[in-house]
């Protein structure tokens, strides 16, 4: 990659870190001085490191622009579909988090496994369904019967 992409990412990361450091500094400034003293030192460090990363990112962008590294940039870019897959897996996780508190453990877990594995591109249903069923039911039984854990939700 990636060359200039990394330079841009670093530049953004540095600016973001500086902003985070400043926001946190003002937040801690509103607390009693003995509680805020140590966190404020860390905020200074975050702002300073953010500045260093911003400057190095900017320099990297300039150097790579000068070298005409545009070709590497395009070749280093990932297929947007791969990010869509990541996003879907994250959505399944959040859906599981909300669902298992209402519906119970086993059904959301079964759906989480099937959804994730299918989204990743695995299509052998004869393997996937028994594995998903076995893992979700097996974990439920082990955790409730052996470890005495009580799961929330209406159903099992």
Partner 1 sequence: MDNILLGLQSVTDPNVILFLLLGCVVGLIIGALPGLTGNMAIALMVPLTFTMPPNVGLAFLVAIYCSAIYGGSISAILLGIPGTISSFATTLDGYPLAKQGKAGLALGTSTMASVFGGLFSGAVLMFLTPVLADAALKFGPAEYFAVALLGISCITSISGDNVPKGLLSGMLGLIIAIIGMDPQNGVPRLTFGDPNMLSGISLVSSLIGVFGVTSVLKTAELCKKQETLQKVPEVDSVWIGIKECIHQLPTWIRGSVIGTIVGIIPGAGTNVATFMAYDWEKKLSSEPETFGKGNPLGVAAPESANNAVTGGSLVPLLSLGVPGNSTSALFLGAIMIHGMSTGPVFFTDHPDIIYGLFISFIVANIIMAPLGIFLLRYMKTILSVPEKLLAGVILAFCATGVFSIASNPFDVLVTIVFGLIGYFFNKFKIPTAPMIVSMVLGAMIEGNLRQALVASRGSWNFLYTRPLTLGIMVVAVGSFILPFIVPMIKRTFAKK
Interface ranges with partner 1 (CB under 8 A): 6, 9-10, 13, 17, 24, 27-28, 31-32, 34-35, 38-39, 42, 45-46, 49-50, 52-53, 56, 78-79, 81-83, 85-86, 88-90, 93-94, 96-97, 100-101, 105, 109, 112-114, 116-117, 119-122, 127-128, 131-132, 135-136, 139, 143, 146-152
What DSSP letter does each residue of the chain carry, written as one string? --HHHHHHHHHHHHHHHHHHHHHHHHHHHTS-HHHHHHHHHHHHHHHHHHHHHHHHHHHHHHHHHHTTTHHHHHHHPPPHHHHHHHHHHHHHHHHHHHHHHHT-SHHHHHHHHHHHHHHTT---HHHHHHHHHHHHHHHHHIIIIIS-PPP-SS--
Nearer to partner 1, 74 or 79 (CB): 79
Nearer to partner 1, 13 or 22 (CB): 13
Minimum distance, C-beta of residue 156 to partner 1, in the bound complex (Å):
14
């Amino acid at each position: 990659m990636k060359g200039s992409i990394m330079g841009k990412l670093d530049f953004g990361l540095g600016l973001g870190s500086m902003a985070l450091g400043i926001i946190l500094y003002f937040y801690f400034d509103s607390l009693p001085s003995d509680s805020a003293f140590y966190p404020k030192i860390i905020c200074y460090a975050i702002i300073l490191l953010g500045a260093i990363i911003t400057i190095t990112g900017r320099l990297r962008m300039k150097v790579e622009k000068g070298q005409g590294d545009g070709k590497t940039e395009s070749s280093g870019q990932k297929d947007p579909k791969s990010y869509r897959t990541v996003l879907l897996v994250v959505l399944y996780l959040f859906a599981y988090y909300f669902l298992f508190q209402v519906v119970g453990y086993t059904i959301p877990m079964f759906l989480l496994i099937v959804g994730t594995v299918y989204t990743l591109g695995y299509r052998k249903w004869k393997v996937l369904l028994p594995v998903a069923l076995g893992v979700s039911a097996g974990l439920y039984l082990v955790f409730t019967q052996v470890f005495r854990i009580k799961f929330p939700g209406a159903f099992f």
